[in-house]
Amino acid sequence: MKPPQAAAAFTAIALALLACAAFSQGASARTRATGVDDVQAPPPAQERLEPAPTELPRLDAAPTAAPTVAPRPLRDQPRIVSPPINRDSIAPREGASAVAVDRELRRLTRAAEAPRAVGSTVASAQAAWTLGLIYLHGAGVRRDPALAQRWFEQAARYGRQPLAFAGLAWCALDGCTGPPDAAAAARAIEALRPRYPARADFLQWVLLKRQTPLQIAKPGANQDQVLELPQRQLLERAAAAGDMHANIELGMDAVSREQFDQAAQYFRRAAPHSLAARQNLEQLALRGSSPIQPPASPTLSPAAAEALASARKYHRGQGVPANFVEAIRYYQLAAARGSVEAQRMLALISSRPIPGGGFNPAWMQQLAYVDVATVIPTVGVLGTTHLLHREPTPVFDLLPPFWRSQMAQVSR
């Protein structure tokens, strides 16, 4: 090799050696700075960009610093944000009961949310329906009617659990998320009717009863003691088909008419599935065939009697223009002074407020001549009497036995 060529080759080799040494030093410096040993180079870009398996949901890319996020819900399915299942969400119970409630709530929530769309399978819809019943009644949890309605909506969404329409009808009647909505209740009742006509008839009766003025059944001296049951044919049809709530209502109506044998027949029909009906039978048995008399009212003080008389005067417009605000004020005064009749009247007045709250003038007018000295009847409201009982809601019997056992007592 000629000297110039040899010098050039030697120079090239030297430069190559220097470059390798520089690369090695840079890699060592990076290892010291990061504290991570050298690893194999990542696969080529085309391998990293292969599409994910089709069975997995596709997620939007997130910044590398952000935590992993769950898939977004389907756009046409509103997400239900249920309260966290913890000590605060579960109603105060003994230790073993609280553990059982917690375990069942978690199981139902998992079952409801298992598919991509809540309610799209029979199991999911059934779990959502049960969760709605639990939160509607506060069975072992804090009562949350708004959350109950959202679970009912999900349970009914794909038609996998038609009973959910009964829950939606009651929420519309009772106002789970706002003022009562008669139109929404009617739609839910008609959706329920093809599969459960008896319950649909009873809920239709409840709806119509709330829209029907009181009718007097016995004019004359007792006209304010016994009131006509509105839309009776609907109630009788539902009762004949086996609806428990319809039989209880007809039994209570029979008691108000002192038809105790007939009342017992109605209550016996409902008794196998209703604690309220069994308690009503006990009340009848305690009294035999004699009329049920209200408990004796304590002797009123002159001040209480005077306040009650003033309340009735303003309520009925006797000798003065009717003034419902003054009537309520005097009822409250009489109740504070020990008048049981005033307390009962105030309970009736508050049982049908106007949407958004406040007393209902039309309802006040209908109550003007109701004799609150008698315990029965209750003038058609879904309230209660001191002697006879209803179930808490028209869907309470559909609550599974475990959750019914979490209720403290039958609503009165």
120 & 174 share domain: yes
Considering its fold, how many domains does the chain have in total?
3
pLDDT tens string 232-283: 899 999 999 999 999 999 998 888 778 889 999 999 999 998 988 998 898 8
Q: Is the separation of the CB atoms in 66 and 118 below 8 Å?
A: no
382 lies in a domain? no
> What's the CA gap between 273 and 233, in Å, rounded?
23
The single-letter code of the amino acid at 183 is A
CA gap 350, 49 in Å, rounded: 67
| Residue at 405: amino acid letter | S
pTM: 0.58
**Interval 136-176: pLDDT, tens:** 988 888 889 999 999 999 999 999 999 999 999 999 998 89
Burial class (CB in 10 A: 0-12, 13-18, 19+), 302: exposed
DSSP state of 203: H
State whether 306 and 290 are in the same domain: no
102 and 184 share one domain: yes
* 3-class SS of residue 246: helix
Residues 100 and 188 in one domain: yes
CA 314 to chain centre: 38
DSSP symbols for 252-296: HHHHHTT-HHHHHHHHHHHGGG-HHHHHHHHHHHHHTTSPP-PPP
Residue 289 located in a structural domain? yes
Find out whether 190 and 156 touch, Cβ atoms under 8 Å: no
One domain for residues 286 and 328: no
Domain that holds residue 327: 302-367
pLDDT digits (tens, 9 = 90+) for 3-19: 555 555 566 666 666 55
- DSSP at 271: G
How do residues 322-354 score in pLDDT, each as one tens digit? 888 888 889 888 888 888 888 888 877 877 777
Is 162 in the same domain as 247?
A: no
